[in-house]
Amino acid sequence: MTTEDAPQSSPTAMRQIIPIDLLERDQCPFDPPSGLRARRGQGAVQPLPLNNGATAWLVTGFEEARTVLADPRFSADKMRHRDATSLQPHEVDAPAAPEPPKEREDGFFVFMDPPEHTRLRRLLTGQFTVRRMKALESRVTEIAVEHIEAMKAAGDEADLVPAFALPLPSLVICELLGVDYADRCDFQKHTAVSLDSSADPEERALASAELYGFMQRLVAQKRANPADDLLSGLIHDADPPLTDTQLVDVALVLLGAGHETTANQLSLSMFALLENPDQLAALRDDPALIDGAVEELLRHLSIIQLGVNRVTTAPVTLGGVDIPAGATVIVATPEVNRDPRQWPDPDRLDVRRPRSPHLAFGHGVHQCLGQQLARIELQIGLRELITRLPGLRLTVPAEKIPVRNEMLIFGVHSLPVTWT
Ligand code: HEM
């Protein structure tokens, strides 16, 4: 049975139909899930039986994954291919619009193919300017320092996830969208609940509705009083103009794509460095290594586990394997980024590893739009933690750190640390 005759499945259901050992990092939280590791040596493209009896195709080779993400026969259009079992590119639990769900698709360019995708993508790329990124760099430093100082002022222990890793990207998105200071507390509260898949579903739906309303008011405010921010820029630059629904969708896409990803990469990176003291010491001795270390941590940790996927629009032969039309193709990023044809000794974390392109931010037309911003947040976040808290260490044994095994975006639920 292929995905063509598989029962229709929502993205959330997809998480349930993936064999759990493909998502669980049950031995080392920094290595690919055991189910992926067990498939090593079985080919760069493998049929993957799903829990519902359907078959998807798993891509574990670097070159083959680049083909999937660059070849137009692999579609990201989830509306056109509703019948195929498909995953969302990021965590399945992006903030939801209340009603009507169809309207959400207006600006959800993540799930569009060219040429529909191209216009929104171009408009947004034009807003991620070097000048705006430079300005954000100094704000990221201020936000990072403020949060570390607040942790120190409150005692000598903290959970790095709520105290640092979650608020940093959330406040950076506030800066990007131009959210007023007075509204940031509400914004952060709604975002945290709306993106927390362990929260009570009713509470979560309420928070998503609040967030949607918040974005609608923000768009109205930017139309009335434009400022020097991304939303005002989109309102000003788009010709023909974007609708309010498109603008709200774009704001929600940026939040959904840029918040949980960066927060998890940040906390898991710090955890990995604490567990690899020689690598941490190398960074302390030579902070100039930080940019390369961030790339290596992105490659080594590959937190978007099986979240990058496509649907074939025609029969395709990939890596010598025939894939039918209408099939779901899943890029197994944790394995792709450890392809031994691409990196020597790929399972080793080495902050001095020579730079070489990885697929943690994807590839092709949907390649991460926020990667420059994510890099800034990770470089500054890690640098400030390492230099301002030289005694940083875990307060519990590493095996007691709760990991996000059930999630498409991997990471830790909490990271209790001390620095004295
Ligand atoms: C460590 C942090 C991040 C990681 C690992 C990450 C990873 C990715 C990946 C793998 C894709 C491609 C998905 C696909 O091809 O299906 C993607 C797309 C995207 N990312 Fe990120 N991302 C991160 C941070 C951010 C940030 C900070 C933002 C913005 C504030 C952002 C905005 C986006 C958007 C808008 C897309 C969709 C682009 C398109 O469809 O054209 N991401 N990201």
Q: What is the pLDDT along the chain (420 residues), one digit of tens a residue?
A: 233 323 333 344 556 788 888 988 988 999 999 999 999 999 999 999 988 888 999 999 999 999 999 999 999 987 666 555 444 433 333 444 444 444 445 778 888 999 989 999 999 999 999 899 999 999 999 999 999 999 999 999 999 999 999 999 999 999 999 999 889 888 888 888 887 767 788 998 999 999 999 999 999 999 999 999 999 999 999 999 999 999 999 999 898 889 989 999 999 999 999 999 999 999 999 999 999 999 999 999 999 999 899 999 999 999 999 999 999 999 999 999 999 999 999 999 999 999 999 999 999 999 999 999 999 999 999 999 999 999 999 999 999 999 988 777 899 999 999 999
- 207-230 pLDDT tens trace: 999 999 999 999 999 999 999 999
Cα–Cα distance for residue pair 279/373, rounded to 1 Å: 24
β-strand 321-323 against 316-318: which pairing, if any? antiparallel
Q: Is residue 3 part of a domain?
A: no
Residue 306 alpha carbon to ligand 1 centre in Å: 14
Question: Which atom of ligand 1 is nearest to 265's Cα?
Answer: 1
- Atom 19, ligand 1: residue with shortest CA distance: 368
Q: What is the CATH number of the domain that holds 343?
A: 1.10.630.10
**For residue 411, what pLDDT is reported?**
95
Residue 369 alpha carbon to ligand 1 centre in Å: 6
In contact, 377 and 262? CB cutoff 8 Å: yes
**For residue 91, what pLDDT is reported?**
36
Q: Is residue 328 part of a domain?
A: yes
Pocket of ligand 1 (CB under 6 A): 69, 76, 89, 109-110, 121, 173, 253-254, 257-258, 261-262, 265, 303-304, 308, 360-362, 366, 368-370, 373-374
Q: Which among 224, 215, 227 has a CA at the least distance from the CA of 256? A: 215
pTM here? 0.92
Q: Is residue 253 part of a domain?
A: yes
> Could you tell which of 117, 137, 361, 377 is best to mutate to test the pocket of ligand 1, judged by most ligand atoms within 8 Å of the CB?
361
Q: How many domains does the chain fold into?
A: 1
Residue 378 alpha carbon to ligand 1 centre in Å: 14
In contact, 336 and 62? CB cutoff 8 Å: yes
**For residue 11, what pLDDT is reported?**
42
**For residue 12, what pLDDT is reported?**
46
Question: Which atom of ligand 1 is nearest to 362's Cα?
Answer: 10
In contact, 364 and 352? CB cutoff 8 Å: no
Residue 313 to residues 14, 76, 113, 319, Cα–Cα distance (Å): 20, 10, 11, 17
**For residue 87, what pLDDT is reported?**
43
**For residue 10, what pLDDT is reported?**
39
Q: Which residue has the tokens 């993205």?
A: 11
Q: Which among 354, 305, 412, 308 has a CA at the least distance from the CA of 32? A: 305
Q: Is residue 263 part of a domain?
A: yes
Q: Is residue 1 part of a domain?
A: no
Instruction: Identify whether 287 is preceded by a cis peptide bond (ω within 30 of 0).
Output: no
Instruction: Identify whether 101 is preceded by a cis peptide bond (ω within 30 of 0).
Output: no
Q: Which residue has the tokens 């990991």?
A: 403
Residue 365 alpha carbon to ligand 1 centre in Å: 11
Cα–Cα distance for residue pair 107/104, rounded to 1 Å: 7
Domain span at residue 36 reads: 11-418
Question: Which atom of ligand 1 is nearest to 112's Cα?
Answer: 40
Task: Give the CA angle between residues 416, 418, 420 to the nearest 5°.
Answer: 175
Residue 256 alpha carbon to ligand 1 centre in Å: 9
Q: Is residue 4 part of a domain?
A: no
175-180 contacts: CB < 8 A, separation 24 or more?
A: 175/136, 175/139, 175/229, 176/132, 176/136, 176/229, 176/230, 176/254, 176/373, 177/218, 177/229, 177/230, 177/231, 177/251, 177/254, 178/218, 178/222, 178/227, 178/228, 178/229, 178/230, 178/231, 178/232, 179/218
Task: Give the CA angle between residues 130, 136, 140 to the nearest 5°.
Answer: 140
Q: Is residue 6 part of a domain?
A: no
Residue 370 alpha carbon to ligand 1 centre in Å: 6
Residue 262 alpha carbon to ligand 1 centre in Å: 10
Q: Is residue 2 part of a domain?
A: no
Residue 182 alpha carbon to ligand 1 centre in Å: 28
